[in-house]
Amino acid sequence: MSSLQGPMQDFLAPGHWLGQFTGLNSRTETWEFLANSPAEVSAALVEVFNELTPERRDKLLIPEFTISQADAAQVHVLTWTKAEWLDTLDVRFSNARFPGTGTVATACFYATGFFPTSVPLAPSLNVAMAWLPFASPGPRGEMLQEFRLRAIKSLLVKQLEGAVGRLLG
């Protein structure tokens, strides 16, 4: 059910309509990578997801995910919790302020709806409930999306540093 409804729910993302303004189930951050091109950062982010161990995915509350787009402009990842709530990570890349000085990534992680995609007609139900604010609490009192972005950025920085080390080593 989730694999069928997930793309429609991701496209509509009714949980993000108000969530992006309340910040309860949505978080946006700007990351700068001064030594890397958008293509390098995109590829490293895909590697981060593809190399997540089952234990790390459990800690991030992302037991399942699908990378629906990955190029030098954007990485778009659909992530499901164990209960099959669909959350989306959308990272858009641009060149830093000055050409040749790296990449600016705008990373947004958000809940797509109140009902999990395992519920029949979840995209429609979530559109009807889009006005209802809801929170996505995470570990250690943090909001879930903030926790995930912090962890993914840390893994991405390590991946990029490792790539530089492999080139120099």
What is the longest distance spanned by two Cα atoms in the chain? 55
Examine the pLDDT at 165 and tell me if it is beyond 70: no
Under DSSP, is residue 116 helix (H, G, I), strand (E, B) or coil? Answer: coil
Work out the average pLDDT over 57-63. Answer: 95
Confidence at 99, pLDDT banded by 50, 70, 90: low
Q: Is residue 167 packed enough to be buried (19+ CB in 10 Å), middle (13-18) or exposed (0-12)?
A: exposed
Query: What's the mean per-residue pLDDT of the chain?
Result: 92
Examine the pLDDT at 55 and tell me if it is beyond 90: yes
Buried b / exposed e along 30-68 (16+ C-beta atoms within 10 A) = ebebeebbbebbbbbbbbbbeebeeeeeeebbbeebeee
Examine the pLDDT at 81 and tell me if it is beyond 50: yes
Among residues of the chain, what percentage have pLDDT more than 70? Answer: 93
Work out the average pLDDT over 76-81. Answer: 97
**Which CATH number fits the domain 2-168, given the four candidates 3.30.70, 1.25.10, 3.40.390, 3.30.530?**
3.30.530
Among residues of the chain, what percentage have pLDDT more than 90? Answer: 76
Examine the pLDDT at 22 and tell me if it is beyond 80: yes
Examine the pLDDT at 90 and tell me if it is beyond 70: yes
pLDDT in tens, 63-76: 999 999 999 999 99
